[in-house]
Amino acid sequence: MTYDPIGRLLLTPVDREAPERVARLRALGLGERPEPAFDAFARELAQLTGAPYAMVNFLGEECQFFAGLHAPSRAGEGRFMARDLGYCPYVVVRRKALVLEDVRDFPRFAANALVDEIGIRSYLGAPLIDRTGLALGTVCVADTEPRRWGRSGLDTIKSFAAELMTRIRRREDGLIIW
């Protein structure tokens, strides 16, 4: 974590792997354009969890890119988001799943602009760990209501992250084409 000049804790932790991640994403051909297969993956995750928002999110040095997106129509127009917004950058740097049943219960996360701008109240995300050991991004869901994700939610998001990484590996190996 870092602090700004007046001593406030910043949400986005220092991400020392960002340059290496960007190079890996480019090598994989990911993180620069929407992909229908990732949109379908996000839609399936949203349907399974009942969450209005689901994303396949890749993180660059300056921004986040939703290569897969399921969102209410008006909110789903943009695929880019600043790195200091949302909860995914924290998941990537931590390299662990994050469960926030009510973001307002956590001072570090309650002040995030997504709470005020979109009304996000709960989040569930897991990192996408590549075969090289890099965290490329996340698979996540969010809701405008507090949610009790519980153990089953955590297991679901981890399972979806593992499934997506399997598909990405198979794509890299030329075994499947999306």
The domain limits of the chain are 18-169
Q: How far apart are CA 174 and CA 178, in angstroms?
A: 10
Structure tokens that stand for 107 in this block: 């001072």
pLDDT of residue 5: 40
Q: Please give the DSSP secondary-structure letter assigned to residue 173.
A: T
- Looking up tokens 């994403």 gives 25
Residue 85's contacts (CB-CB under 8 Å, 6 or more residues apart) are 64, 112, 113, 114
pLDDT of residue 11: 56
Cβ distance 42 to 15 under 8 Å?
A: no
pLDDT of residue 110: 84
Report how far apart the first and last C-alpha atoms of the chain are (Å, whole number).
37
Please state which CATH number belongs to domain 18-169.
3.30.450.40
What is the Cα 54 distance to its own chain's centre? 9
Q: How far apart are CA 11 and CA 22, in angstroms?
A: 21
DSSP 6-42: T-PBPSSPP-TTHHHHHHHHHHHT-SSS--HHHHHHH
pLDDT of residue 4: 40
Ranges of the chain whose pLDDT falls below 50 = 1-10, 76
Q: Please give the DSSP secondary-structure letter assigned to residue 38.
A: H
Q: How far apart are CA 102 and CA 74, in angstroms?
A: 23
pLDDT of residue 75: 54
Strands 122-129 and 98-100: antiparallel
